[in-house]
Each structure stands twice: as C-alpha cells, then as structure tokens.
C-alpha cells in the first residue's frame, strides 16, 4: 500500500523554515559607551528623583533609589570620546532600582541606534538589571530592528573608567547577537 502524500502545507512550512534559518547570522560588536551626567554637554539627565535619603544615611551619593535618568549616550570605536569615531548612540533611560548601597543596581532600558557601517539605521534593544560595581555585567538583548530584526543575544559590560566625583563613565561593551 502506498503511503499518503505529504500535505502540501507541511512542505510549504518546511521550505519557509529552512529559508528563515538560512538567513540567520550572528555578530560580535565592540564599542565604548560614554555616560556623562555632568557638565555643559551632559548625555544623561535626571528626569525624576526618588526621595532624598536622610543625611544620617551617610555621604550623599550622585544618584538615589528611585531616580530616573534619561540618556542619549554616544557610542565610539575607541575609549577616547574626542578622538574616536562615533558609531551610534544609546537612547533610553535607567532607573536606580536597588535600595541599599551594598549592591547598587540599575534597571537599564535602552535602544542602541547604529549610525555607521552595515548596521547603520538598525537598532538593538537592551532591557536589564545592571549591577554597576560588578567587574563584568551580562545584559540581555531582547530585540532589534532593521538588519537586527528578530535579534536575541547578550552584552558583556565592563567599566573602563569612572570619575566618582562627577559620575562620568566610559563603559566597554561587547555585544553578541543572533539575528
Ligand atoms: C560641548 O559641545 C560643544 C559642541 O560640540 C563643544 O564645542 C564643547 O567643547 C563641548 N564642551 C565640553 C566641556 O566638552
Ligand atoms: C583624547 O584625544 C584627545 C584628542 O586627540 C587628546 O587631546 C586627549 O589627550 C586624549 N585623551 C586621553 C585620555 O587619551
Ligand atoms: C573628575 O571630576 C571632577 C569634577 O568634575 C574633575 O575636577 C576631575 O578633573 C575629574 N577627573 C578626571 C580624571 O577626569
């Protein structure tokens, strides 16, 4: 007895799935993010403040639990902002999301908007806890647009330089994405 023919729909879906798989790629991006909360050219501004802690709580900190900071941070190829090529911007916000000073953590919600090379015009979206004092933080990449449609991945973030007086920070980002 001959076996029944495979349904046409099944064949169609298989062909579509194979075409989708064939288009998948992955990439490693490396750049520096400059978060500048002070000075005339600040790239990070406090948009809402949490309650100020009592003076007895210790020395004043730059940010407090509940603060919301909106960012438009430049991304550059090298660590020197004035000498290095701009490759994109991180546009979004972070919230001071931990109460105690013991393990300070942000909730970082940002798009990375690329302006250079083959990813120009495409974005990646980050939504993550960021335990800022950890030597390496892992942030999930939850999506993307343009060339990065369907993106999934993660970022490893290291603090390259931090001025604890004015809060200016240079962060080294290694982004690994499948898309
Ligand atoms: C701020 O930006 C302006 C315009 O790009 C530039 O001329 C100036 O030097 C910058 N100031 C600082 C302190 O970086
Ligand atoms: C960054 O580059 C500028 C311009 O080339 C230079 O004057 C400055 O010394 C550099 N800064 C550092 C920390 O290397
Ligand atoms: C850190 O910030 C303070 C206050 O703005 C400034 O006086 C100092 O020069 C900065 N340090 C470095 C290494 O840039």
Q: What is the pLDDT of residues 99-151, one digit of tens each?
A: 877 889 999 999 999 999 999 999 999 999 999 999 999 999 999 999 999 99
**Considering the chain, what is the average pLDDT of its residues?**
90
Question: Residue 24: what pLDDT?
Answer: 84
Question: Residue 61: what pLDDT?
Answer: 75
Rounded distance from Cα 173 to ligand 3 centre (Å):
23
Question: Residue 103: what pLDDT?
Answer: 87
The pLDDT > 70 percentage for the chain reads: 85
Q: Is the CB of 80 under 6 A from ligand 2?
A: yes
Residue whose entry in the numeric block shows the structure tokens 């023919």: 5
Topology (CATH level 3) of domain 25-53+61-178? AOC barrel-like (2.40.480)
Which of 34, 80, 161, 162 to probe ligand 2 with, by most ligand atoms within 8 A of CB? 80
Rounded distance from Cα 80 to ligand 2 centre (Å):
6
Q: How far apart are CA 154 and CA 47, in angstroms?
A: 27
How many other C-beta atoms can be found within 10 angstroms of the C-beta atom of residue 122?
Answer: 20
The DSSP element (H or E) to which 14 belongs, if any, is helix 8-22
Instruction: To the nearest 10°, report the CA torsion of 141, 30, 69, 93.
Output: -30
Which range is least confidently modeled, 36-40, 127-131, 170-174? 36-40
Radius of gyration of the chain (CA): 21
Rounded distance from Cα 163 to ligand 3 centre (Å):
6
Question: Residue 69: what pLDDT?
Answer: 97
58-75 residue pLDDT tens: 667 778 899 999 999 999
Question: Residue 93: what pLDDT?
Answer: 98
Q: How far apart are CA 42 and CA 61, in angstroms?
A: 18
Which of 83, 85, 162 to probe ligand 2 with, by most ligand atoms within 8 A of CB? 83
Q: Which position has the higher pLDDT, 51 or 13?
A: 51
* Predicted confidence (pLDDT) at residue 23 exceeds the cutoff of 80: no
**Three-class SS of residue 9?**
helix
Categorize the per-residue pLDDT at 52 as very low, low, confident or very high, splitting at 50, 70 and 90.
confident
- Domain positions in the chain are 25-53+61-178
């Amino acid at each position: 007895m001959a076996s029944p023919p495979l349904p046409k729909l099944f064949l169609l879906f298989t062909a579509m799935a194979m075409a989708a798989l064939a288009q998948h790629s992955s990439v490693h991006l490396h750049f520096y993010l400059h978060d500048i909360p002070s000075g005339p050219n600040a790239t990070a501004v406090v948009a809402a403040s949490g309650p100020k802690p009592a003076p007895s709580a210790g020395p004043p900190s730059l940010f407090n639990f509940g603060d919301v900071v909106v960012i438009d941070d430049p991304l550059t190829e090298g660590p020197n902002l004035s000498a290095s090529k701009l490759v994109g911007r991180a546009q979004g916000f972070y919230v001071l999301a931990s109460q105690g000073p013991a393990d300070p953590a942000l909730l970082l919600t940002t798009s990375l908007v690329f302006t250079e090379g083959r990813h120009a015009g495409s974005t990646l979206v980050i939504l993550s806890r960021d335990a800022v004092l950890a030597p390496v933080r892992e942030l999930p990449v939850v999506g993307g647009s343009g060339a990065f449609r369907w993106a999934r991945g993660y970022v490893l973030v290291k603090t390259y330089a931090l001025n604890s007086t004015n809060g200016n920070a240079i962060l080294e980002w290694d982004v690994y994405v499948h898309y």
